[in-house]
Structure 1
């Protein structure tokens, strides 16, 4: 898991201090899922595409450099699947 810093307001910090049982990471992930929903991105499909891209030896940084939305990632994975790297042929 990658840790990313998030800036919060003083009122957010105070509220979390008062309610230390609240999982702030879960709140962050829930907010991201809501954003995905607004943009019609299925988190399960995105997870699967990311898994497939990593199986194709793309790093997360390479994926981010080469894509900036769901359809770009889908194209990256599909293009790689349709055009395997040289040397990956069955005739060898």
Structure 2
């Protein structure tokens, strides 16, 4: 997992310091899930597509470079799946 930094306001920092038991990473992930829901993206489907793309040999950087939304990732995975493998090509 990659750690990213986020800018928070002083009031956020103060509140988190008062309540150091709060997992700020979990709050961030929850907010992202809410954004996904608003945009009609199922996190489980997104996770599955990402895993399939990684299994096909794509790095996260390549996925980011070649896609910018859920439908693009789905197309990328399906395109790669529909291409014949080297073994299939030599059988023809």
**TM bracket, shorter-chain basis:** over 0.9
Q: What is the TM-score normalised by the length of structure 1? A: 0.93
Count of aligned pairs = 91
- Measure, in 2, the Cα distance between the counterparts of 1:74 and 1:7: 31
CA distance in 2, matches of 1:88, 1:35: 42
Divergent runs of 4+, >4 A:
none
Separation of aligned partners in 1, 2:60 and 2:4: 14
Q: What is the alpha-carbon distance in structure 2 between the residues aligned to residue 8 and residue 70 of structure 1?
A: 28
**TM-score (structure 2 length as normaliser):** 0.93
**Structure 2: runs of 5+ lacking an equivalent:** none
Q: Give the alignment's Cα RMSD to 1 decimal.
A: 1.5
Unaligned regions of 5+ residues in structure 1, if any?
none
